[in-house]
């Protein structure tokens, strides 16, 4: 595949929540100059020209953009399948009806835990009740609904009740995704990484739920990388299937790539087509020619593409290294040590919340 099929449009990093596992950049100062409505409309048109079929409208909280309805309407006119990725704080019935009329295809709502008090504590603000109300509105308007729950040590023991909540909300899909350790999640890794016992219990819950709900609700479960034998193929391969546009116009092969010491690419300076095809950023780790050993000689090199470049850089300081999650990596001991610490009896539980940064534009 030489064209992407998915665009993650991160409209803003402003957010009413303060989740301690947020993967958005820690330093938000560089993202205050957000793309204008006209710039986003051009990005959508260039994305369609490039071959994109799916547009995921995310953030931060995309509902904080006053032009969201206009952007959805234009994406629909271009023939893009649109998915709103939201905390649902601010998804009033009126706003929902406007988005429905504009052609929005799907809504994904994040919930932090099944218990209202725990959910509000993790979110850093009272929000659970508004999320549940918004989820009910979504189903009343006959939208497909995905409930997304980021799992970690402080909520994974409630997994059975989380699935039960998704059932009660009549979700079409529940995504149970263990935390990826970037941004604020990296700072809080010691308090977030679950134990082996927690994961074993969780997997039993997921197996039972998948069997019981087959044909009624899709149950998607993503293991934490640190407990895997091999790394995941990040984004289906670097610059292969999807791309991200950040609020300031940076175009990225994956949402966390702004952390890497690579040349930047901006939609304010070049077209999306040219960025995808020719930019050094998108070409740097595309394919397999860049790989060192053990990846270069591994039979899995076109399966997992050496794993996550951002995780390799996060853990080793070198984005070209084999992802240390892989048991064949010379740096695998870094992950082994993190897992060992997570399974000690005495572990930190205090979370550093992401600062609030709300507002409107």
Contact at 8 Å (CB) between 176 and 151? Answer: yes
Strand partners, 82: 55
Q: How many residues does the chain have?
A: 361
Is 254 annotated among the ligand-binding residues?
Answer: no
Is 19 annotated among the ligand-binding residues?
Answer: yes
* Beta strands per DSSP E along the chain: 6-10, 54-58, 81-86, 106-110, 145-151, 173-178, 218-222, 242-245, 251-252
Q: Which residue, 40, 52, 46, is CA-closest to 241?
A: 52
Strand partners, 149: 176
Distances (CA, A) of 109 to 120, 194, 242, 265: 15, 23, 21, 30
Distances (CA, A) of 31 to 12, 34, 258, 356: 8, 6, 11, 14
Strand partners, 173: 146, 218
| Beta pairing class for 54-58 and 81-86 | parallel
Task: Tell me how crowded residue 261 is: count the other CB atoms within 10 A of its CB.
Answer: 8
Which residues are annotated as part of the binding site for [4Fe-4S] cluster?
15, 19, 22
Which residues are annotated as part of the binding site?
15, 19, 22
């Amino acid at each position: 595949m030489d064209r992407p099929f998915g665009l993650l449009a991160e409209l803003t990093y402003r957010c009413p929540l303060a989740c301690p596992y947020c993967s958005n950049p820690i330093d938000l100062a560089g993202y205050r100059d957000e793309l204008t409505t006209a710039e986003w409309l051009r990005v959508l048109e260039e994305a369609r020209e490039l071959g994109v079929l799916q547009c995921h409208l995310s953030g931060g909280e995309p509902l904080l953009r006053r032009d969201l309805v206009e952007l959805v309407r234009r994406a629909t006119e271009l023939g893009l399948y649109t998915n709103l990725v939201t905390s649902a704080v601010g998804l009033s019935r009126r706003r929902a009806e406007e988005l429905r009329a504009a052609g929005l295809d799907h809504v994904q709502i994040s919930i932090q835990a099944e218990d209202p008090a725990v959910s509000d504590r993790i979110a850093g603000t009272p929000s659970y009740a508004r999320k549940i109300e918004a989820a009910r509105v979504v189903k009343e308007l006959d939208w497909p609904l995905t409930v997304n729950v980021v799992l970690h040590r402080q909520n994974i023991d409630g997994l059975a009740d989380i699935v039960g909540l998704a059932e009660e909300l009549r979700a079409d899909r529940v995504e149970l995704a263990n935390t990826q350790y970037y941004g604020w999640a990296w700072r809080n890794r010691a308090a977030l990484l679950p134990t082996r016992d927690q994961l074993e219990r969780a997997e039993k819950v997921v197996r039972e739920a998948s069997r019981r709900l087959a044909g009624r609700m899709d149950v998607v479960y993503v293991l934490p990388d640190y407990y895997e034998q091999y790394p995941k193929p990040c984004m289906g391969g670097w610059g292969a299937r999807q791309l991200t546009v950040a609020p300031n116009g940076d175009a990225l092969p994956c949402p966390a790539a702004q952390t890497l010491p690579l040349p930047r690419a901006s939609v304010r300076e070049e077209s999306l087509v040219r960025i995808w095809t020719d930019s050094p950023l998108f070409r740097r780790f595309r394919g397999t020619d860049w790989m060192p050993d053990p990846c270069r000689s591994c039979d899995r090199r076109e399966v997992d593409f050496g794993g996550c470049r951002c995780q390799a850089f996060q853990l080793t300081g070198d984005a070209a290294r084999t992802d240390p999650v892989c048991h064949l990596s010379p740096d695998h001991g870094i992950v082994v040590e993190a897992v060992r610490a997570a399974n000690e009896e005495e572990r930190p539980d205090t979370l550093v919340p992401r600062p609030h940064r709300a507002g409107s534009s």
